[in-house]
Chains A and B, each alone.
Chain A
Amino acid sequence: MTKQEALFNYTLRLGDTSLILAQRLSEWTGHGPFLEEDLALTNIALDIFGRAKSLLEYAAKVENKGKTEDDLAFFRNDREYFNALITEQPNGDYAKTILRQAFIDCFDLMFYTELSNTKDATLVGISQKSIKEITYHKRHSFSWVKRFGNGTEESLTRLQQGFDELWPFTGELFEMNEVDEVLLKDGLAVDLSRLKAVWEKEIGDLLNESHVQIPESTYIQTGSRKGLHSEHLGYILAEMQSLPRMHPTAKW
């Protein structure tokens, strides 16, 4: 694997993860639990779509085949998508959506902080902008997890249920493959193995404070690094890509 191939795949991984997460979050727009929260979650979705756009623009540039970010978003199949499995999971209720966000915000803040110290100028630029946004997102999601854990019996039950459904998808966030190896040699990627313990500590503290029971051991769902997804991604793409695919020569 060449360095260029690795960087292309790495940037797709980050771009796709942002794109699919934002696509899921924006399903809440107009349907939030109350107006202020509707606006807040939409704002978060907007930040993450913005990041997805920058990353896919860069991926297209790295690939150097004359494509645009829209070509990458709308004309790739599920097997060519590398978003983390956790992002494509259905929103469920608000507790599940918020908990997924807390898991990812916690990961992303550490990840983009590390990425801002690597050697690729474009990725560093995107990271610096993202850190500010994610800091706010994390404050939002963490504060809601605590509210649910310490709110009512029902909110705690729902939080635990969301946790049980999402927990098996968290391990995959830290997986590395040949792409990471190639880039790490040149200081172009983040060593994910170094993030895991810190993430587990922070999330463990949050869950303890929120009275969520964490199992001793768990199995891990995996596959996205190879473009292997859950059944959900096919539907997300079918919907998201329908218009450009129906009118492949059109400009919008």
Chain B
Amino acid sequence: MGRVNVEEVFEAKLAKNDFIEPKDWMPENYRKHLIRQISQHAHSEILGMLPEGNWISRAPSLRAKLVLLAKVQDEGGHGLYLYTAAESLGISRDEMLNALLTGKAKYSSIFNYPTLSWADVGAVGWLVDGAAIMNQVMLQRSSYGPYSRAMVRICKEESFHQRQGYEIMTHLSFGTPEQKAMAQDALNRWWFPTLMMFGPPDRESPNSENALKWRIKRETNDQLRQRFVNQTVIQAEYLGLTIPDKGLVWNEAKKAYDFSEPDWAEFKNVIKGNGPCNKERLVSRNKSHKDGEWVRAAAAAYGKKQMEASLAA
């Protein structure tokens, strides 16, 4: 029997669109790339609980409160599946958590922007979740099995969240003049940061090439960004809101909108840690983790005592 070339098996699976599973051989760079991407994604879900959680206590109706609370809980649930998917690649949750708390790990920069009004809860659902879905729909077909399967479930919930966000925007846009102004203000502030969520332009995207080759990603940042703009313009028109971009114009030749680039200097600056809420978000995560330390210690000590008692019995 000839020796099986593991690398060829891996390549053959990619070529056939088969999933790579945790016990399969995979190139070390593939593993590293996935750990980075999945853990960043998990961190983003967890950090994402904070800007929206900011409005739970002030949600303006009991229904809105229930919907928002359930949504924030879903984000936490997504974080949990994703941490589990990353663990299947041989990293522990403690290692990932530690990287987040010490500021070493990245997470989606969008959560470093503040939610200043109730309309921001709507805009986050409509735009931010909308952009996330563009990415995640693609990731449902990602080559790594556990990631792909986590995405299938996450996408279902995210599309629900996006509709809920749009529903809030609808109430506001067709509500009182003050409500409509609130909605427009939120769109003004969230539009460009949302476009940044797709990552740097293809000409400057350092990690894209491998991700495409390995079928972790299947479309480029710019392709996804274009699709998002095309889809969102009509939704804003229905609401009677104006997208804050004078360069936005329909291009008949490419059957798509032309639009202005986000301020990439701002993007880099927020990633570096200088966004409006980077520090607060990390301080908040660290505080919760530290405040919970004695709880985790108590649970561990109790568990140990129970175990010893059952062994002695």
Question: Which residues from 256 to 308 on chain B have a C-beta closer than 8 Å to any C-beta of chain A?
Answer: 284, 287-288, 291-299, 301-302, 305
Main secondary structure of the interface of B (DSSP, over half): helix
B288 touches A30 (CB 8 A): yes
A74 touches B69 (CB 8 A): no
Chain A CB count within 10 A is highest, among B69, B284, B293, B298, for B298
Partner of A42, one of B65, B72, B171: B72
Question: Which residues from 130 to 187 on chain B have a C-beta closer than 8 Å to any C-beta of chain A?
Answer: 168, 171, 175-176, 178-179
Partner of A155, one of B53, B294, B305: B294
Partner of A53, one of B63, B179, B284: B63
**A52 contacts the other chain (CB 8 A):** yes
B73 touches A39 (CB 8 A): yes
Chain A CB count within 10 A is highest, among B53, B62, B118, for B62
CB contacts (< 8 Å) of B79 on chain A: these are 35
CB contacts (< 8 Å) of A39 on chain B: these are 73, 76-77, 80
**A118 contacts the other chain (CB 8 A):** no
Question: Which of under 10, 10 to 19, 20 to 34, or 35 or more describes the interface residues of A?
Answer: 35 or more
B175 touches A151 (CB 8 A): no
A247 touches B176 (CB 8 A): yes
A73 touches B297 (CB 8 A): no
CB contacts (< 8 Å) of A74 on chain B: these are 60-61
Question: Which residues from 131 to 186 on chain A have a C-beta closer than 8 Å to any C-beta of chain B?
Answer: 146-148, 150-152, 154-155, 158
A174 to chain B, nearest CB (A): 28
> Of all chain A residues, which has the CB nearest B47?
A30
B295 touches A70 (CB 8 A): no
B111 to chain A, nearest CB (A): 11
Inter-chain CA distance A148–B80, complex, in Å, is 25
Inter-chain CA distance A244–B178, complex, in Å, is 12
B297 touches A29 (CB 8 A): no
A147 touches B302 (CB 8 A): yes
**A94 contacts the other chain (CB 8 A):** yes
Partner of A151, one of B46, B60, B176, B298: B298
Partner of B301, one of A30, A73, A152: A152
A205 to chain B, nearest CB (A): 18
CB contacts (< 8 Å) of B46 on chain A: these are 35
Per-residue interface assignment for chain B, residues 16 to 59, with 1 indicating a CB less than 8 Å from any chain A CB and 0 otherwise:
00000000000000000000000000000010011001001111
B69 touches A34 (CB 8 A): no
CB contacts (< 8 Å) of B168 on chain A: these are 252
Given contacts A35-B79, A42-B69, A155-B297, A250 and B176 within 8 Å (CB-CB): yes
Given contacts A70-B61, A240-B57, A33 and B295 within 8 Å (CB-CB): yes
Inter-chain CA distance A45–B50, complex, in Å, is 17
> How many pairs, one residue from A and one from B, have CB atoms within 8 Å of each other in the complex?
134
> Of all chain B residues, which has the CB nearest A56?
B62
**A37 contacts the other chain (CB 8 A):** yes
Inter-chain CA distance A243–B294, complex, in Å, is 37
**B70 contacts the other chain (CB 8 A):** yes
Per-residue interface assignment for chain A, residues 45 to 56, with 1 indicating a CB less than 8 Å from any chain B CB and 0 otherwise:
110011011001
Per-residue interface assignment for chain A, residues 17 to 42, with 1 indicating a CB less than 8 Å from any chain B CB and 0 otherwise:
00100010011011111111111001
B62 touches A53 (CB 8 A): yes
B90 to chain A, nearest CB (A): 20
Per-residue interface assignment for chain B, residues 215 to 229, with 1 indicating a CB less than 8 Å from any chain A CB and 0 otherwise:
000000000000000
Inter-chain CA distance A43–B76, complex, in Å, is 11
Chain B interface residue count, CB cutoff 8 Å, equals 46
A239 touches B57 (CB 8 A): yes
A20 to chain B, nearest CB (A): 12
B58 touches A30 (CB 8 A): no
Chain A CB count within 10 A is highest, among B57, B58, B297, for B57
CB contacts (< 8 Å) of A56 on chain B: these are 62
Question: Which residues from 215 to 252 on chain A have a C-beta closer than 8 Å to any C-beta of chain B?
Answer: 239-240, 242-244, 247, 249-252
A150 touches B294 (CB 8 A): no
A252 touches B62 (CB 8 A): no
A42 touches B73 (CB 8 A): yes
**A80 contacts the other chain (CB 8 A):** no
> Of all chain B residues, which has the CB nearest A236?
B57
**B66 contacts the other chain (CB 8 A):** yes
A27 to chain B, nearest CB (A): 7
B291 touches A93 (CB 8 A): yes
Pick the 7 closest A-B CB pairs, nearest first.
A33-B292, A151-B298, A155-B298, A33-B295, A30-B49, A30-B53, A243-B60
Which A positions have Cβ atoms within 8 angstroms of B?
19, 23, 26-27, 29-39, 42-43, 45-46, 49-50, 52-53, 56, 69-70, 73-74, 93-94, 146-148, 150-152, 154-155, 158, 239-240, 242-244, 247, 249-252
Given contacts A31-B284, A151-B299, 9 further A-B contacts (CB under 8 A): A29-B49, A29-B72, A29-B73, A33-B288, A33-B296, A70-B62, A151-B302, A154-B294, A252-B171
A-B contact pairs, 15 of them (CB 8 A): A23-B57, A30-B53, A31-B53, A33-B291, A33-B292, A33-B296, A34-B296, A35-B76, A35-B79, A49-B62, A70-B61, A74-B61, A151-B297, A154-B297, A239-B58
